[in-house]
């Protein structure tokens, strides 16, 4: 029987709220099984870019990352946010250790190729990008890896990489060794049938149902990357994938009644 592993992803809205973040990290630190945390932090990067006068360009919700923007997101994601989270987890007696993908060659990326758009220093990854052996060794040492959304190409270049994708590929890469559960934690109770009704949670979504919801325009742009990555994880042997409200992590771990489950 495989050992349980939780791969948990959090985003900018939670990171921006100290009280909520503390509450969440308390719940996360109390997970008894092996665990990995992946975080984004887009809002803080945008705020700093504005203060520095560095114009930010977004296309379909994805950040164009020029050299100045890369410097900013590296400082914010791999620096300030990552170390703040690690420090808070240490306070809660959780042996966290913070990483970018460049550290120990943990996640190797390729520059995004697009026929019409140059995304700049944006890296794409697959499950083969992940150094699963080393991550497994860290987990055996009872360490809790905390990943920022920065990767590298092993040629001296850093890349901005979607944190939802990082969580998904880490979960996929470790699914042969562990019973992996991937959790996307955000500010809704799950995927909503009606964005105006916070109680209209869709309990289960298959690939066909996702395609239908997308074609009907019922999915806002922020949820699309999460669902696409969640489906990719399910199709690549990740045992369970849920989208849940960040404040319901503890109750979900105990009962699995919260949020939206992504299914084949």
The domains located in the chain, with CATH, are 3-262 (3.40.1160.10)
Predicted local confidence at residue 61, as pLDDT:
64
Q: What pLDDT is stored for residue 252 in this prediction?
A: 95
- CA 6 to chain centroid, in Å, comes to 12
Sequential pLDDT tens for the chain (264 residues) = 899 999 999 988 899 999 999 999 999 999 999 999 999 986 889 899 999 999 988 886 678 999 999 999 999 999 999 999 999 999 999 999 999 999 999 999 999 998 889 999 999 999 999 999 999 999 999 999 999 999 999 999 999 999 999 999 999 999 999 999 999 999 999 999 888 899 999 999 999 999 999 888 888 777 988 999 999 999 999 999 999 999 999 999 998 778 999 998
């Amino acid at each position: 029987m495989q050992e349980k592993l939780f791969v948990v992803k959090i985003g900018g809205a939670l990171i921006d709220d100290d009280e909520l973040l503390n509450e969440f990290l308390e719940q996360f630190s109390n997970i008894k099984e092996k665990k990995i945390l992946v975080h984004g932090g887009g809002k803080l990067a945008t705020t700093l870019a504005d203060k520095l006068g560095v114009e930010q360009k977004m296309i379909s919700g994805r950040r164009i990352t020029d050299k100045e923007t890369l410097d900013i997101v590296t400082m914010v994601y791999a620096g300030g946010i990552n170390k703040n989270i690690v420090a808070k987890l240490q306070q809660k007696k959780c042996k966290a250790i913070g990483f970018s993908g460049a550290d120990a060659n943990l996640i190797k990326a390729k520059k995004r190729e697009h026929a019409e758009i140059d995304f700049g220093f944006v890296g794409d990854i697959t499950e083969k990008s992940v150094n699963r052996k080393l991550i497994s060794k860290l987990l055996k040492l009872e360490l809790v890896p905390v990943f920022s959304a920065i990767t590298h190409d092993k040629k001296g270049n850093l890349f901005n990489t979607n944190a939802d994708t990082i969580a998904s590929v880490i979960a996929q890469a470790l699914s042969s060794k562990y019973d992996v559960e991937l959790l996307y934690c955000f500010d809704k109770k799950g995927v909503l049938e009606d964005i105006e009704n916070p109680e209209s949670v869709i309990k289960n979504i298959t690939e066909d149902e996702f395609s239908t919801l997308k074609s009907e325009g019922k999915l806002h742009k922020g949820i699309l990357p999460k669902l696409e990555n969640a489906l990719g994880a399910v199709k690549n042997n990740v045992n369970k994938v849920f989208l849940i409200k960040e404040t319901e992590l503890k109750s979900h771990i105990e009962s699995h009644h919260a949020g939206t489950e992504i299914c084949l």
